[in-house]
Structure 1
Amino acid sequence: MGIKKPVLAGCVLAAALCASGAASADSSVELYGQVDAWLGAQRNPGPYDRSWTQGGGGMSTSYWGLKGSEDLSGGLKAVFALEDFFLPQTGAMGRYTGDAMFSRNAYVGLQSDTLGKVTIGRLTTPYFVSTILFNPFVDSYTFSPMVFHTYLGASGQGIVGDSGWNQSVMYSTPSYNGLSANVIYGFSGDPDHSGQNKWGANALYFHGAFSATVAYQQVEFDSTPGDLDTLAPGFRRQQAVQAGAAYDFGFAKLFGQYQYIRNVIGGGDVTMNGGQVGVSVPLGHGSVLASYAYTGSSGASDVKRNTWALGYDYTLSKRTDVYAAYFSDKISGLSRGDTFGVGIRTKF
């Protein structure tokens, strides 16, 4: 007697579901990300007019990603991640025109429960992670004073080498009683500049209300080997060190960071000293955020930069928040710039 088609289809579907369940027990793939857009106005330091804009990434840069793992048994997993920044105001991929599709992260690696994790590909640097975890505006490229002083340097200040490195390998330790560390190395990939590289490391400590970090990196090229000379004649390498700490009192969380940067330049080195102090105060269904950062240059350059920001981030749900913020930026020799606006961010 033949089997009816509906019964056969049901058997096939059941078998597929069983196979899917067995596979999901051994491996997983997750889609995730966030969309952040804001309305407001910007004026850069110097002889510029204020421009009204609808921008992306007010509190954090929009991105989407895929990540997954496969259980290889014995506490060992294969892991991967592909993460793309995008601009919600235009729909374009990347943080800016010409940015790579998976510029946030693009890696594959192995992770052990006891030995840690090794990843290779394009990787977010440990220095960037330490920078954003110890200031109240976190990774905002619109309102965070510490992000501006570190990654959006003006008048020769700030670090080179980007927040993510191509052709890199990183080892991350497991957490031991709240203490963990990461070490990264970036290859030049150019036989004509085989001696040039990037490398860095950080240590992170979390224990109750207290957290702290120290980070270091040395960079011998910015985006392509041999390109530091185009930024300044005789520019050979940059060394940067940062220390940060935070303490959550409940009624307020305090943040502090110190940063020292040295540009090794044939015509005369440039050093930068500075840091950031900030606070996050719970208020209603949100938090008041405040931050001040200072950087002073010495050596072949004498530039001072003072930046502060004030904002309020209101939680609508577990995934969605709205915010308003004001940012002021003063660089010696230039008229003050500022940014203000309101925005919304949702995660998925």
Structure 2
Amino acid sequence: MKKSLLALVAALACAGAAQAQSTVQITGLMDVYAGSMRMAGDAHRTTTVGSGGMTTSWMGFTGKEDLGNGLTAEFLLTSFLRADVGNYGRFNGDPTFSRDANVALSGGFGTLRLGRSMAPNFLPTILANPFGDSFTVSPLVLHANISTAAWGFGNLTTPSDTGWSNQVTYTTPSFGGLKANLHYQFGEQAGASNKANAGLNVMYFGGPLTLLGFYERAKINNPVVLSPMDTKTDWMLGGTYDFNVVKAYATYGQAKVDTTNFKGSTLSLGLDLPVLNKAGTVKAAMARTKVEGTLNATRTTASLGYDHFLSKRTDLYAVAMHDKITDVKSGTSLVLGMRHRF
């Protein structure tokens, strides 16, 4: 009896140790704003309560397990949210877990990830502008991903969404602050084995200096229905430098579609100015995109805002934005919002 009891205690102890090596978390971010919006070419102004003023709202599950011998397994299963209406996804028809749905194995060799995850363009773009991953007020992100009545989807510079499905991603170890991500998305098109997306990004983090770049060659659209499209290439180089009193940002990139003679070139500049003992930052950014081919026009967007942190997890923000496209009426927008991480 004593031996049986000791065996049970030992088994429970081992189970507890194994459980301690694994973690699963519910995590996410809620971002809601009130705004008065008018983009270039819009016929009328819209007053709205929206989701994702500074960051697209999301929630989901993350997990890690220590496998021993320097190996770690993990998964990401996260969904975008429209917190203003209570729906999942960035838009109607967006996959439930369009933000992340993948598994990964990490070790001294780096990380190998399988499933839906970020496209090569995403990290360099959000790290190289002071408004980060805002699809509402970041000029650089807007020019890459968000259409207006006058601009149109065919003139955006991102080839195929900020996330790719059916993807294999390899992340190298860090070499003195230098790291790269290699991306390959299977097109899964019968009889069209060459229809796939591929790309990479490279990032260097060295004290106050950050250098970033990416290249993509896309033949498959994302994210709802994967189907062949005209081959589009996109690249960008950028960097930031933190002078302590101010942080400066700059990027330059180009996108091309040979079959339609489309070419878009984008220059962006920005700065972050910490104030109130770094409890808040004044943010300013500008992006200018010149498009040739299907539409010959120039778009210039500028944003000025203030972001104030009430804690490490909660901040309040206010941003004014001006949007101008050649030969159409310009637009101005103002948003006031709150962001909370959990």
- Counterpart of 1:275 (choices 238, 253, 267) is 267
Would you say 1:95 and 2:90 are equivalent positions? yes
Deviations along 1:260-295, one digit per CA (max 9) or x if unpaired, are: 111121xx4111112210000001120000000001
Deviations along 1:121-177, one digit per CA (max 9) or x if unpaired, are: 101112111100010000001100000111114343222311111111000011111
Decide which moves more: 51-60 or 23-32.
Answer: 23-32
SS, match of residue 328 in structure 2: coil
Q: Given the superposition, is the C-alpha separation of residues 308 and 16 from structure 1 closer, same or farther in structure 2, using an over 3 Å criterion?
A: farther
**How many percent of aligned residue pairs carry the same amino acid?**
37
Would you say 1:121 and 2:121 are equivalent positions? no
Q: Report the equivalent of 2:60.
A: 65
Asked whether the equivalents of residues 159 and 216 of structure 2 are also in contact (C-alpha less than 8 Å), the reply is no
Q: Given the superposition, is the C-alpha separation of residues 17 and 101 from structure 1 closer, same or farther in structure 2, using an over 3 Å criterion?
A: farther
Q: Given the superposition, is the C-alpha separation of residues 15 and 141 from structure 1 closer, same or farther in structure 2, using an over 3 Å criterion?
A: farther
Q: Report the equivalent of 1:134.
A: 128
Q: Report the equivalent of 1:54.
A: 49
Would you say 1:157 and 2:152 are equivalent positions? no
TM-score scaled by length of structure 1: 0.90
* CA distance, structure 1, for counterparts of residue 234 and residue 226 of structure 2: 19
Q: CA deviation at 1:26?
A: 2.3
Q: Report the equivalent of 1:231.
A: none
CA RMSD of aligned residues (A): 1.9
Q: Given the superposition, is the C-alpha separation of residues 18 and 346 from structure 1 closer, same or farther in structure 2, using an over 3 Å criterion?
A: farther
* CA distance, structure 1, for counterparts of residue 71 and residue 249 of structure 2: 36
Asked whether the equivalents of residues 193 and 226 of structure 1 are also in contact (C-alpha less than 8 Å), the reply is no
Paired AA for residue 301 in structure 1:
L
Q: Report the equivalent of 1:173.
A: 172
Gaps of 5+ in 2: none
Would you say 1:143 and 2:137 are equivalent positions? yes
* CA distance, structure 2, for counterparts of residue 30 and residue 226 of structure 1: 34
Decide which moves more: 275-284 or 189-198.
Answer: 189-198
Paired AA for residue 77 in structure 2:
L
Asked whether the equivalents of residues 146 and 276 of structure 1 are also in contact (C-alpha less than 8 Å), the reply is yes
SS, match of residue 312 in structure 2: coil
Query: How many pairs align?
Result: 327
SS, match of residue 132 in structure 1: helix
Q: CA deviation at 1:17?
A: 7.8
SS, match of residue 174 in structure 2: coil
- Counterpart of 2:106 (choices 111, 114, 129) is 111
Would you say 1:340 and 2:334 are equivalent positions? yes
Matches within 5 A, 1:6-25: 18=13, 21-25=16-20
Q: Report the equivalent of 1:3.
A: none
Paired AA for residue 100 in structure 2:
N
Asked whether the equivalents of residues 326 and 339 of structure 1 are also in contact (C-alpha less than 8 Å), the reply is yes
- Counterpart of 2:232 (choices 228, 231, 238) is 238
Q: Given the superposition, is the C-alpha separation of residues 16 and 88 from structure 1 closer, same or farther in structure 2, using an over 3 Å criterion?
A: farther
Deviations along 1:231-254, one digit per CA (max 9) or x if unpaired, are: xxxxx2100010010000011000
Asked whether the equivalents of residues 219 and 238 of structure 1 are also in contact (C-alpha less than 8 Å), the reply is yes
Asked whether the equivalents of residues 42 and 331 of structure 2 are also in contact (C-alpha less than 8 Å), the reply is no
Gaps of 5+ in 1: 1-7, 229-235
Deviations along 1:153-205, one digit per CA (max 9) or x if unpaired, are: 43432223111111110000111111000000011112043321111101000
Matches within 5 A, 1:4-43: 18=13, 21-43=16-38
Q: CA deviation at 1:65?
A: 2.1
* CA distance, structure 1, for counterparts of residue 247 and residue 298 of structure 2: 28
* CA distance, structure 2, for counterparts of residue 59 and residue 83 of structure 1: 18
TM-score scaled by length of structure 2: 0.91
SS, match of residue 90 in structure 2: coil
Paired AA for residue 222 in structure 1:
N
Would you say 1:296 and 2:295 are equivalent positions? no
SS, match of residue 289 in structure 1: strand
SS, match of residue 126 in structure 1: coil
* CA distance, structure 2, for counterparts of residue 199 and residue 42 of structure 1: 36
